[in-house]
Structures are given as structure tokens and as C-alpha cells.
Amino acid sequence: MTGPQRREQLLEIGRALFAEKGFEGTSVEEIAAKAKVSKPVVYEHFGGKEGLYAVVVDREVTSLLDQVTAALDPEHGARQLLESAALALLEYVDTSTDGFRILVRDSPTGQSTGSFASLISDVATRVEHLLAAEFKSRKLDPKTAPLYAQMLVGMVALTSQWWLESRRFKKDEVAAHLVNLAWNGLQGLERKPRLGSP
């Protein structure tokens, strides 16, 4: 096996083990044993379990962000954008189940990037300018778009986590219900909401 082939093999094995057992539950010994190599080979390629994990997470983050970003076509109307974003995330959960499991697990101590929360925040940042334009066109305060972007993306993300384990509904049904709640809620937004509003 060539060096690049061995590296890919270790990444695939690490990805499967991290998805199944989490970062803490996976050892370099186990990765090496599954790859039928010695532990020093893992260290040579990645410097240790943390390095391997970081590459796996980076690939998953890139893949998910690419899929969601590709779905956010600014030429689409607001509802279609919401539908596209929800479907893109659910599609990722469906086709990259191991990757999603890795992303929703806690990151190793001291790792500030690659956490699911930071990923969701990044997606929300990409959505907020689209929401701001929609808010402006509806005479709503565009400065609140970052807040609504976090809420919408968070709702989709948490529902995706639930769906990962449940699978009681088809992907399109889940997306349709997400959009139903979000869209119908957005349709009735008050210009200056207050607690205790009628």
C-alpha cells in the first residue's frame, strides 16, 4: 500500500470507530489493529489519535458545509431556501450517518473547532444575509437576522439529531414539517415582538 493509500485507509477506519465509539472510546491500538499495522504507522501519518480525529472532523465539516451552502441559492425565494437547507442537512445525515454521528459528539477537551455548535454557528452565518434581505423586503428589522438564523438552523440541526436515531418519518416528511413550522412562524412575525404579546 502506498503512503496516501495507507493514510486513506487509516482515515476510513478512524471515521468508523469514532462514529461507533466516540473520540474517548477509540484507541490508537484499535485503529492500528483494524488497519493491520503497528501503532507507529498511525503516529507517523497523524501524530496520534487527536491528529487523525482532527482530519476526520475537518473533512466532515467541509462536506456538510459544502452541501448546505450549495443548497442556499440566493435566487430562490425564502421558503424554497428554507426547504433546500433543511433537505441538504437531512440528506447529509442520511448519506453520511457516521460523519454526522462524529460531528454531534462532544469534541475532545481543548479543541475549539469542529464542534457541532461551531459548525451550526457557521451555517447560521451563511444564512443570515439571506434572511436580512428577506426581512428588509418585509419591513422587519434586518439587524435581527443573525438571531433568527441561529434559531432556524438550530431547529433543523436538533431535529436532524433526533431523526438520526428515530427514522420514524421519511426525509422529505421531516423537511416538510420543519419548513411548515418555520415558515408559518416566520409568516406571522411581529415587527416589534414583546413578551406577553397577545
Q: If residue 26 lies in a helix (H) or strand (E), which one and from where to where?
A: none
Q: What is the mean pLDDT of each run of 10 residues along the chain (198 residues)?
A: 93 95 94 95 94 92 86 78 86 91 68 65 81 85 89 87 89 91 80 75
Which pLDDT score is estimated for 134?
Answer: 81
pLDDT number for residue 151 = 87
Cell triple for residue 145?
437576522
The Cα 77–Cα 70 span in angstroms is 15
d(CA 160, CA 167): 10
pTM attached to this predicted model: 0.77
At residue 113, the pLDDT reads 52
Return the pLDDT at 109: 46
In angstroms, the CA 91 to CA 23 distance is 24
CATH of 57-188, one of 1.10.287.70, 3.30.1490.20, 1.10.357.10, 1.10.10.10: 1.10.357.10
